[in-house]
């Protein structure tokens, strides 16, 4: 993987970006496990894989949780306060948790998304000047975030650096294989059929990395309901382009995409709901989809099989 050599740089970027590392006394973790908190499941998965036996990780946002809207509970505030280190996405993903994360003074906070070079980030018009925070859907790009987790754990617990480095190397090589698998799956779909339509704009980086045109109904977050004009525009596009399938997301109410399906049908074309994608949250704990590799594998499998299914539309 081409970025594994630049971990020192990643660490520098992360720590300078959050501005807390300098002067912060590092908790003494010798003789006990590191207590880590992660906001999203995707981040928690990276921390668990790299931390191994050394790190106890509590993930705040479970399956089906929408990180754009999630507000810290009292228990979360306690967990964050008691943690040695808190990992979060940043790039404004955890919008409703911003204050809690910023005010934390008792632990080291690592916004893993800040480790990604700005040149790699998208700032779509619909996102009103902000970066697209859904960085985990380009697996290669997500490796920067994984590198940031590794660098932060090594810095916090240098005694066990070699274990973290070995775990990270293994995880990054698994991600490398995952990235190749997604490319191979995507390549099965003819380029003109690679159109991915979902309930909100979570898949821009996925589309860029793996060659799909992506259209979402909502903008940066799920906070705003899609307007009737958006539904109308999108349904016209689907009916005219004969898109075979559109997708629901585990962390967004089904009604948004059902409204699109109904509007497409009203135009005389039958678009299928191709299945459920995990966008901003992983599947249930203990399931394959409850891991980062599992959720991404599930998504590409669902997308590719639905787009290849050649369902007959009403106007065919
Ligand atoms: Zn989102």
CATH number of the domain encompassing residue 88:
3.40.50.1980
| pLDDT recorded at residue 83 | 94
pLDDT(94) > 70: yes
CA of 75 to the centre of ligand 1 (A): 24
Range of the domain at 258: 185-308
Q: How far is the CA of 202 from the centre of ligand 1 (A)?
A: 5
Task: Specify whether 222 is located in the same domain as 279.
Answer: yes
Query: Does some domain include residue 30?
Result: yes
The reply to whether 256 falls in a domain is yes
User: Is residue 121 situated within a structural domain?
Assistant: yes
Question: Is pLDDT larger for residue 7 or for residue 193?
Answer: 193
pTM of the model: 0.87
Q: Tell me what pLDDT residue 219 has.
A: 53
Same domain? 208 vs 84: no
Q: Is residue 283 part of a domain?
A: yes
How far is 222 from 281, CA to CA, in rounded Å? Answer: 13
Q: What is the pLDDT of residue 289?
A: 97
In this structure, the answer to whether residues 77 and 199 fall within a common structural domain is: no
In angstroms, what CA-CA distances link 58 with 20, 37, 47, 104, 237? 21, 5, 10, 16, 43
| 179 and 189 belong to one structural domain | no
262 occurs within a structural domain: yes
pLDDT confidence of residue 313: 42
Say if residues 220 and 126 touch (Cβ distance below 8 Å): yes
Going from the Cα of 292 to the center of ligand 1, the distance in angstroms, rounded, reads 16
Q: Read off the pLDDT band of 3 (50, 70, 90).
A: very low
Task: Compute, in angstroms, the gap from residue 99 CA to the centroid of ligand 1.
Answer: 19
Please count the residues of the chain: 316
Q: Quick check: is 126 in a domain?
A: yes
Total domains present in the chain: 2
Domain boundary pick from 127, 148, 183: 183
Q: Which sign does the torsion angle of CA 180, 184, 185, 190 carry?
A: positive
Ligand 1 center to residue 244 CA distance, Å? 24
If asked whether residues 128 and 45 sit together in one domain, one would say yes
Let me know whether 225 and 107 are in one domain.
no
Q: Are residues 218 and 178 in the same domain?
A: no
Distance in Å, CA 280 to ligand 1 centroid: 5
What is the predicted pLDDT for the residue at 129? 86
If asked whether residues 229 and 253 sit together in one domain, one would say yes
Residues 6+ apart with CB under 8 A from 9: none
Angle between helices 255-266 and 228-241 (to 10 degrees): 60
Model confidence pLDDT, tens digit, residues 218-264: 654 555 566 777 888 899 999 999 999 999 998 888 888 899 999 99
At 238, give phi and psi (nearest 5°).
-65, -45
CA distance 293 to 298: 9
* Domain assignment present for 56: yes
Ligand 1 centroid, distance to 200 Cα (angstroms): 7
Q: Are residues 179 and 194 in the same domain?
A: no
Ligand 1 centroid to residue 31 C-alpha, Å? 39
Check whether residue 96 and residue 140 sit in a common domain.
yes
> What is the 163 CA–ligand 1 centroid distance (Å)?
33
If you measure from the C-alpha of residue 268 to the centroid of ligand 1, how many angstroms do you get, rounded to a whole number?
31
Phi, psi of 279 (to 5 degrees): -105, -70
Q: Is the pLDDT of residue 20 over 50?
A: no
Ligand 1 centroid – CA 260 distance (Å): 19
Which among 183, 213, 247 is the end of a domain?
183
Query: Which one of 118, 150, 183 terminates a domain?
Result: 183
Integer CA distances (angstroms), 43 to 17, 200, 250, in order: 18, 21, 17
How far, in Å, is the centroid of ligand 1 from the Cα of 51? 26
Question: Could you tell me the distance, in angstroms and rounded to a whole number, from the CA of residue 166 to the centre of ligand 1?
Answer: 32
- pLDDT tens-digit map of 59-81: 999 999 999 999 999 999 999 99
Residue entry with tokens 């987790």: 149
Ligand 1 centroid from CA 8, angstroms:
29
Is residue 244, in this structure, part of any structural domain at all?
A: yes
């Amino acid at each position: 993987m081409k970025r594994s050599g630049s971990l020192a740089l990643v660490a520098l970027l992360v720590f300078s970006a959050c501005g807390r590392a300098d002067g912060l006394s590092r908790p003494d973790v010798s003789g006990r496990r590191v207590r880590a908190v992660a906001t999203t499941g995707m981040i928690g998965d990276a921390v668990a894989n790299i931390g191994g036996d050394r790190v106890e990780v509590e993930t705040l946002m479970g399956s089906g949780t929408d990180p754009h809207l999630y507000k810290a509970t009292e228990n979360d505030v306690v967990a964050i306060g008691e943690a040695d280190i808190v990992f979060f996405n940043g790039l404004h993903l955890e919008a409703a948790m911003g204050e809690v994360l910023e005010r934390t003074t008792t632990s080291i906070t690592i916004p893993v998304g800040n480790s990604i070079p700005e040149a790699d980030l998208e700032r779509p018009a619909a996102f009103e000047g902000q970066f697209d925070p859904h960085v985990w859907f380009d697996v290669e790009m997500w490796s920067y975030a994984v590198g940031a987790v590794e660098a932060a754990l090594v810095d916090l617990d240098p005694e066990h650096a070699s274990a973290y480095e070995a775990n990270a190397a293994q995880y990054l090589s698994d991600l490398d294989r995952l990235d190749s698998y997604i490319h191979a799956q995507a390549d099965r779909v003819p380029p003109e059929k690679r159109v991915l339509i979902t309930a909100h704009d979570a898949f821009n980086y996925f589309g860029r990395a793996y060659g799909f045109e992506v259209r979402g109904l909502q903008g940066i977050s799920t906070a705003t309901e899609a307007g009737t004009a958006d539904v109308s525009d999108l349904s016209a596009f689907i009916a005219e382009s004969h898109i075979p399938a559109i997708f629901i997301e585990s962390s967004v109410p089904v009604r948004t995409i059902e409204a699109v399906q109904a509007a497409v049908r009203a135009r005389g074309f039958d678009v299928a709901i191709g299945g459920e994608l995990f966008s901003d949250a992983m599947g249930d704990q203990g399931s394959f989809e409850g891991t980062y590799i599992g959720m991404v594998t599930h998504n590409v499998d669902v997308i590719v099989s639905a787009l290849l299914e050649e369902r007959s539309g009403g106007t065919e």
